Amino acid sequence: MFWEDRFRAVCDEVILCTDDGSAGMKGFVSDGVERAIAAHPDIDEVVAIGPLIMMKACAEATRPHRIHTTVSLNPIMVDGTGMCGGCRVKLGDTVKFACVDGPDFDGHLVDFEDLMVRLRRYANEEKVATERWSETCRMRTLAATAP
Partner 1 sequence: MAKKRTIRTIPQQRTPAREQDPQIRRTNFEEVALGYDDAEALLESQRCLLCPEPGCIAGCPVGIDIPGFIARIGEGDVRGAYDVLARANLLPAVCGRVCPQENQCEGVCLVGESLEPVAIGRLERFVGDRAIAEGFARRPYIEPNRFRIGIVGSGPAGMACAADMARAGCAVTVFEAFHLPGGVLRYGIPDFRLPNRVIDAEIAALQRLGVVFECNTLVGRLFTIEQMIDELGFHAVFVGTGAGYPTMLGIPGDQLNGVLSANELLTRCNLMRARDFPNVDTPLPLGRRVAVVGAGNTAMDAMRVCLRLGAEQVTCVYRRSPAECPARAEEVHHAEQEGVEFHWLTAPVAVLGDFGGGVRGLRCQRMMLGEPDSSGRARPVPVPDSEHELDVDLVVFAIGTNANPIIGQTSGLALNKRGYIAVDDDLATSIAGVYAGGDIVTGAATVIEAMGAGRHAARSMKAYLGLSDPSALRVPGDPSASLFGLTPDQRNFVRLRVA
By the criterion CB under 8 A, which residues form the site for partner 1? Answer: 78-86, 88, 90, 95, 97, 100-101, 114, 117-118, 120-122, 125-126, 128-129, 132
CB 67, min distance to partner 1, A: 27
Asked whether 62 and 56 are in contact (CB, 8 A), the reply is: no
CB 36, min distance to partner 1, A: 32
Q: Provide the mask over 79-108, with x wherever binding to ligand FES is found by CB under 6 A and - wherever it is not.
A: xx-xxxxxx---------x-x---------
Query: How many whole angstroms separate alpha carbon 4 and alpha carbon 145?
Result: 38
* DSSP character at residue 110: B
Using CB under 6 A, which of the segments 77-85, 103-111, 112-120, 131-139 binds ligand FES? 77-85
Who's near 49: CB < 8 A, 6+ residues apart? 55, 71, 72
Q: Minimal CA–CA distance to 48: which of 62, 66, 27, 37?
A: 62
**Count of helix runs (H) and strand runs (E) in the chain:** 7, 7
CB 33, min distance to ligand FES, A: 29
CB-nearer residue toward ligand FES: 85 or 92: 85
The residues binding ligand FES (CB under 6 A) are: 77-80, 82-87, 97, 99
